Amino acid sequence: MIKESKNSHIVEDNDSTIDDETFTPHIACDEMCEKERRNRLLFDALGLNPARAKDTEVMLRMRTVESIYTPFTLNIYAKQPVWCKGIEEVFSQLLAHTMESSFRSLSNSEIKQSHHFRPMREVQRRFVHELAESWGLFSEAHDPEPHRSVFVKLVKSSKIPDIKLQEAHETYQKYKALEKKKSLERVSRQDEMEKHSSVSTERTYFNGIIIKDVFFGVTVETIDAAFFNICNQTENNSRKFPLMKNGRVEFICENMYVFYGDSCLEDEKSELEKQIEELCPLLDKRVKDSNLALKCIMAKVNIEEGTVVEVMDDTNNKDEVNGKISSSDNLVDVAGERLDDVKVEAVTVTSEWW
């Protein structure tokens, strides 16, 4: 039994009542609603981010646009959408009569098979040519300037593109906005990393020397003996390089060794770097004069882990090396993530057939 009044709407069923102030009518879920519900369930099941999925959809859609339209076509449409739609409408009407017959009756004289545009400027003719190619139409230019015009004709491969110009333009605008967003995010992440690095990175010092391009047959003992006199030389009755008194040479790879001393106290690291900087050219001269190796360069060595973490090159640029050093001259293998960016830009190309 249902009772109605001005102030309340009460439904009585099996001794239960619902006041109209809290009553919410049920709205049936249509096809679009059901699709959204399925998508949410799918995203939750796969652990996907719906926003990320939309970005991926835009990128995939843009790939389809690029396979149909040229950058020049999209740029002209952005500047003159009304005129471009007029050209597109001519193509649509040209193909409209052949959709049902699938071009089997192209010989029928009643079906319009071609269109001759009025004389146009070169940039307009180029647009017609490139758009005709997107539609699979044959096109050619007729007559000399200033009466040069474009003639288009149906062929068996002619078809209506999967994406019209307006939708392609909207996709391109979304793509540009997405790329701008990603660019800002990359800059923000980089700034954050640089800020964090400048705050948290502890100053490290050079504490070793890399012997590069060691000649065949030269052993660790040979290099060690060659360095002994230089590292233990005295000045004013004291060692010239006291922090390198227990310096030793160790093997890294076939043609590369490393020379370093014992661990030192924190307040001695700066002085050790100065001694390494003074010692490096002396050792470099020794290996060259003795035909032992080609060069010596300063390095930062993690003595506890037995790894070389940074090397100074010939131009005093520091290259970071993760793990043990390799024998390649390029000591840093820089890898960066990049999207397969495709930018649409205006292009100015002249051609006689326009």
pLDDT in tens, 77-99: 999 999 999 999 999 888 886 65
Distance, in Å, from the CA atom of 219 to the CA atom of 151, rounded to the nearest integer, reads 80
Residue 193 tokens read as 């990393």
Q: Who wins on pLDDT, 285 or 197? A: 285
State residue 22's pLDDT score. 52
Q: Which residue has the higher pLDDT, 98 or 123?
A: 123
Could you write out the DSSP letters of every residue in 229-271?
HHHT-EETTEESSGGGTT-EEEEEETTEEEEE-----GGGHHH
pLDDT(293) > 70? yes
Q: Which residue has the tokens 């100015």?
A: 348
pLDDT at position 123, please?
Answer: 92
Q: What is the pTM of this model?
A: 0.43
* pLDDT at 101 exceeding the cut of 60: no
Comparison of pLDDT for 118 and 331, the residue scoring more: 118
Reported as a single tens digit per residue, the pLDDT across 251-277 is 887 788 999 887 778 788 888 888 899
Res 217 pLDDT > 70: yes
Which range, 42-56, 144-158, 301-315, 329-343, is most confident?
144-158
**pLDDT reading at 45 higher than 70:** no
Helix segments in 29-164, DSSP class H:
31-46, 50-68, 71-79, 81-96, 122-135
* Distance (Å) of CA 150 to CA 116, 142, 153: 6, 6, 10
Between 131 and 188, the more confident residue is: 131
Query: Does residue 251 contact residue 218 with C-beta atoms inside 8 Å?
Result: no
Q: Sorting pLDDT into bands at 50, 70 and 90, what band is 320?
A: very low
Question: How big is the chain, counted in residues?
Answer: 354
Q: Give me the chain's average pLDDT, please.
A: 75
Overall average pLDDT of the 60-75 stretch: 90
Cβ atoms of residues 233 and 240 within 8 Å: yes
Q: At what angle do helices 81-96 and 122-135 cross, to 10 degrees?
A: 40
Lowest mean pLDDT, pick from 29-33, 48-52, 61-65: 48-52
For 332-353, what is the mean pLDDT?
35
Among the ranges given (111-115, 119-123, 248-252), the one the predictor scored with the smallest mean pLDDT: 111-115
pLDDT higher than threshold 70 for residue 50: no
- C-alpha span between 137 and 101 (Å, rounded): 17
